[in-house]
Structure 1
């Protein structure tokens, strides 16, 4: 990075996310190699990260040249070890050094807490914010059944973080639920423990005096996200508001008093009452999106549908079957090719029950003994959200595959369903979009706390998702389970077709399911910070070796990947057997894509009014 100029040179223009701290180096400190700083605490994208803007700073690469600086983070400085203790007291006193974490959206997905496939954090866990979520001993608050409209007044259960089963895995303080809370077991002040300390925490207490144990337990209880706690060296018990126990022999939390929206443990009101037959309502309209929550959470691979039954009475998918019967779809994936000498001929084709796919998709791996996961999608023409470059987008209710459900009256959520126009090029673009989503790492679809530095931009930007959540790509199958992929069968003969809708086809459309988001923005109404945040999405996408090729409607998500180009797939398409020639061909492909990236960044700057932002 060149020498730091003035604030005016750097185009602050009303910015609030600005690095203002410059660290003085130890004159005898080492030279800091470019792009070779300590890994320290970083987001999965590998970029420099700070929990707050003031944890990012300029640091001279050469101690003897103060103006020759780069951007580092607090955790990187701690790893380097140069004057860290002194600088921590000066700039970050009493502020804990934390790692990046995923910020969870308002929970919509639901699974029984004791289900063997439950995840950590569990489905339904409300994000408590960084004040508590960075604590290893916090208790997750789980949404209660029956609370569909806005934040509930109570939450049904409290669930501890999982203690790693492998003793070698790091664990500072975690709780284990007492699954047999009866009078026969140990008690705290005459009542059974709800949680026991894990073995990792108990090992911390070994050999300590009574007072030291009490102090450590008290400090740990204080760090919990729960005010009504008493604990001792064995475990923890929760008590309801207004029923404070004798605290003479146990540690209690000293947090602020409970609020009206606080969770009540195992509240009877949290249990779903048995319906009264006299009050039963007519069957719900499964095509209606009214009152259904929008799905913003990721669906783990283990819960994604294998089969999608599409209810399409309006024939939006171009099917010719009975409109009152669902059309069966199966999920497919686009595996990233493994480049190397053995892959010289590019992406290996996939065979599905006699159908060979030149597009390279495959069936997702699954346990052959496991029951297939079946979801239902309900499509209506009137629920169309919009029209893209190659597809119609529908606001569609999705019934999740059991045992997964949702906090809604019908157990449904809404997603965006993309269907191709009835022309050959649109089918090709929708397949290409599925390939691009498959190339995106999972972290590119999550929001993380804190801020990244994304060169060449040296203004901190929030770590927001690059793209919407991706819920799978689905192809129609016939009654025998064979794919009805007309695009795969006729792809070669349509390669020379002109773009647009000139070559109309009667093919049943694939379906791409994704999170509904990414409304276009009006950059002239945005601050420089907001414009830079939108621009950072393109920079991060390019870091992944992907160009979008259609950046004409800026937004806080990149939503159209129909014309995307992915470096990994492009390299796999190189059909050169000779190793030396193949290496040169790889370089040519990379140079071409980097040139396209440069042009795309130039276009994005213009769209976002960032031509004179000085980075």
Structure 2
């Protein structure tokens, strides 16, 4: 059943200023997402009631939906009557009046979820896999609206893929299949942006495979464009050195043709003995003392391991003589510069009183490093959602008191999963799903009135992993200050996140009409970041301490509690509305309107709590741009959910609470118009 209070709640008095069906019409504010059509009525057409019109195709939020802006149009509520509303193409077809497919471009389709670029991977036959399976690339609406019975998926293929075969079929729950294809869709070559290929490394899958000087088959070969670059170098070993450093993984031996990858020092030892660890023609061995030391040291421990190298190509530029860590000073300086947090106003004098000191630290390394680790933008499969979070926190950011380097054990409070209700049944006893979170002060990227936010590497419960050199992905980890009110706000924010329906964290194709923005359709993006759980240290209370319930933010108590941890998707930087188009400001405002349709208030609406990142998220990060931005609302520590149902038709207390809530909603809308520079009161 669709959510929403009214099916088509907008009444519009038609005037000439609203008509935009002229093909040469140019909106005075430069808008491109505008309702232009005027749907004709049959002379004997019935009166269209305000909240009983045809449903048509809807997104789960219950709002009018169309696949493109030209699928919306004005329609008079009665033939010849000047009061109109906005209908979609699918509503007109359901209404049955003068509908003609030829008036529209493309077929009539239903809304579908747009999947972010895949980062997670899981064995294809694992029972926790999803439909579509993890690793499936969103190929757009041209492919995504196929009949599910015959639908196929193209799977992401890269050097981190578990299945290295050139093609594989993956069955889905509805009997459809997926095709894992190599090569993946053509993209800019990482070795030569002017070319397109599968990437810098390609599998050595020829028969027989290419071998090196010692008759050992390469695991991967350089792409043709990279080989050409090597041939053009006076000292190709310098380029190979920087490229191998950029991979941020030990146990790699490379030459002019390709690489061999070793998971342990023991596996690498026979090759070292055979070569006597001497440079030979065609085999690359680091030739400077510093690089040699950095390569040799990690071989004393179990691999994989990582270091804190900076991206070689980004920092070294075009000079082949520059080492890959040439910009360590700049990197250290950059780590000291923190981005504004979602709940901080740097112009607020109270910030200086409330803000906790920001810890400065050396760049993170090893499993704490976020260098080249992708951020998590997908949902974690419910069957592998962590029960336990082992937090690696050597700098005691969580305020733990352990003297050893052992991780601190946290337990999931939210989300509450179906399997949690069965945990007391003897037959349902199962091994707990354990994830690892790595906190480091150098990875802090926000601080505000009550919390620090860290970009934190996350290792998910096996066999679930991410496509990175360590199998990790990054999430935003929010920790409370050591004040009672800060803990209370963070726990309340977790309550609000737990109340969000799943579709508020998903992106759909097409556009919604969100009253009162009835003239300007907006993309159906996610409203809030994906929620990856709320965790409390084992032995700590899952609720705020009652003795501090009356403490105010103006006079909080300093406490010695361990901080809970809120994990969510990282969603970019705060918006700057003065740089936006009118369409983009309306899109940001529509997020709040959609939130209010759920009877939820954000509670502290400022532009710092509206985030922007390049998109679309269906593409790989290097192909995204701010020409297709993705927006999110964040910071719900002061949010409010009106979820009380009336006891009966004469429940006066409920009416009073609802009216008071509505007053606060109107105040929040007024504040949002000011913050987002929206001048029009209606129809913006």
Task: Calculate the TM-score normalised by the size of structure 2.
Answer: 0.65
Task: Report the equivalent of 2:120.
Answer: 109
CA contact (8 A) 1:140 1:158 kept: no
Give the SS at the match of 2:114. coil
Q: Are 1:470 and 2:531 an aligned pair?
A: yes
CA separation of 1:486 and 1:333: change in aligned 2, threshold 3 A: closer
Give the SS at the match of 1:592. helix
Determine the C-alpha separation between the residues in 1 that align with 2:557 and 2:588. 35
Find 1:17's aligned residue among 24, 27, 33. 33
Give the SS at the match of 1:105. coil
Find 1:49's aligned residue among 60, 65, 70. 65
- The residue correspondences of 1:422-441 to structure 2 (distance < 5 A) are 422-441=482-501
CA separation of 1:320 and 1:22: change in aligned 2, threshold 3 A: same
Give the SS at the match of 1:139. coil
Structure 1 residue 77, shift from structure 2 partner:
1.1
Task: Report the equivalent of 1:316.
Answer: 397
Give the SS at the match of 1:419. strand
Determine the C-alpha separation between the residues in 2 that align with 1:501 and 1:107. 46
Structure 1 residue 551, shift from structure 2 partner:
0.5
CA separation of 1:227 and 1:109: change in aligned 2, threshold 3 A: closer
CA contact (8 A) 1:548 1:565 kept: yes
Structure 1 residue 7, shift from structure 2 partner:
3.8
Give the SS at the match of 1:474. strand
Q: Are 1:79 and 2:70 an aligned pair?
A: no
CA separation of 1:581 and 1:403: change in aligned 2, threshold 3 A: same
Determine the C-alpha separation between the residues in 1 that align with 2:166 and 2:601. 45
Task: Report the equivalent of 2:104.
Answer: 92
Structure 1 residue 12, shift from structure 2 partner:
5.2
Find 2:268's aligned residue among 251, 267, 277. 277
Q: Are 1:606 and 2:621 an aligned pair?
A: no
Q: Are 1:533 and 2:577 an aligned pair?
A: no
Find 2:654's aligned residue among 553, 573, 586. 586
Task: Report the equivalent of 2:213.
Answer: none
Structure 1 residue 297, shift from structure 2 partner:
0.9
Structure 1 residue 590, shift from structure 2 partner:
1.1
Deviation string for 1:175-225 (max 9, x for gaps)?
458xxxxxxxxxxxxxxxx9xxxxxxxxxxxxxxxxxxxxxxxxxxxxxx9
CA contact (8 A) 1:467 1:558 kept: yes
Give the SS at the match of 2:651. helix
RMSD: 3.2
CA contact (8 A) 1:125 1:141 kept: yes
CA contact (8 A) 1:542 1:597 kept: yes
Determine the C-alpha separation between the residues in 1 that align with 2:503 and 2:528. 10
CA contact (8 A) 2:133 2:172 kept: no
Q: Are 1:139 and 2:152 an aligned pair?
A: yes
Give the SS at the match of 1:328. strand
Q: Which deviates more from structure 2 when the two are superposed, residues 27-36 or residues 4-13?
A: 4-13
Task: Report the equivalent of 1:124.
Answer: 135
CA contact (8 A) 1:518 1:558 kept: no
CA separation of 1:161 and 1:382: change in aligned 2, threshold 3 A: same
CA separation of 1:147 and 1:78: change in aligned 2, threshold 3 A: same
Task: Report the equivalent of 1:340.
Answer: none
Task: Report the equivalent of 2:172.
Answer: 162
Q: Are 1:419 and 2:479 an aligned pair?
A: yes
- The residue correspondences of 1:57-456 to structure 2 (distance < 5 A) are 57-65=73-81, 67-84=82-99, 87-89=100-102, 91-92=103-104, 95-136=106-147, 137-147=150-160, 157-159=167-169, 162=172, 164=174, 175=176, 260-261=197-198, 268=205, 275=262, 276-278=267-269, 283-284=305-306, 285-333=366-414, 364-365=420-421, 368-456=428-516
CA separation of 1:41 and 1:441: change in aligned 2, threshold 3 A: same
Structure 1 residue 509, shift from structure 2 partner:
0.6
Structure 1 residue 588, shift from structure 2 partner:
1.3
CA separation of 1:559 and 1:599: change in aligned 2, threshold 3 A: same
Determine the C-alpha separation between the residues in 1 that align with 2:561 and 2:418. 20
CA contact (8 A) 1:41 1:99 kept: yes
Q: Which deviates more from structure 2 when the two are superposed, residues 437-446 or residues 579-588?
A: 579-588
Task: Report the equivalent of 1:513.
Answer: 567
Give the SS at the match of 2:386. coil
CA separation of 1:582 and 1:322: change in aligned 2, threshold 3 A: farther
In structure 1, stretches of 5+ residues that fail to align are: 165-173, 178-193, 195-224, 229-258, 336-360, 478-482
CA contact (8 A) 2:113 2:508 kept: yes
Deviation string for 1:455-481 (max 9, x for gaps)?
11111000011000000000110xxxx
CA separation of 1:486 and 1:30: change in aligned 2, threshold 3 A: closer
Find 1:485's aligned residue among 536, 541, 556. 541
Task: Report the equivalent of 2:548.
Answer: 494
Determine the C-alpha separation between the residues in 2 that align with 1:102 and 1:467. 15
Determine the C-alpha separation between the residues in 2 that align with 1:612 and 1:330. 48
Determine the C-alpha separation between the residues in 1 that align with 2:676 and 2:466. 37
Determine the C-alpha separation between the residues in 2 that align with 1:96 and 1:70. 24
Determine the C-alpha separation between the residues in 2 that align with 1:37 and 1:226. 45
Give the SS at the match of 2:596. helix
Find 1:564's aligned residue among 629, 635, 639. 639
Deviation string for 1:117-154 (max 9, x for gaps)?
22110001111111111113342111225159xxx9x9
CA contact (8 A) 1:546 1:567 kept: yes
CA separation of 1:122 and 1:268: change in aligned 2, threshold 3 A: farther
Structure 1 residue 15, shift from structure 2 partner:
0.6
Q: Which deviates more from structure 2 when the two are superposed, residues 535-544 or residues 266-275?
A: 266-275
CA contact (8 A) 2:59 2:65 kept: yes
CA contact (8 A) 1:334 1:434 kept: no
| Number of equivalent positions | 480
CA contact (8 A) 2:386 2:412 kept: yes
CA separation of 1:409 and 1:155: change in aligned 2, threshold 3 A: same
Determine the C-alpha separation between the residues in 2 that align with 1:267 and 1:81. 59
Structure 1 residue 501, shift from structure 2 partner:
6.3
Determine the C-alpha separation between the residues in 2 that align with 1:261 and 1:145. 8
Task: Report the equivalent of 2:282.
Answer: none
Q: Which deviates more from structure 2 when the two are superposed, residues 494-503 or residues 121-130?
A: 494-503
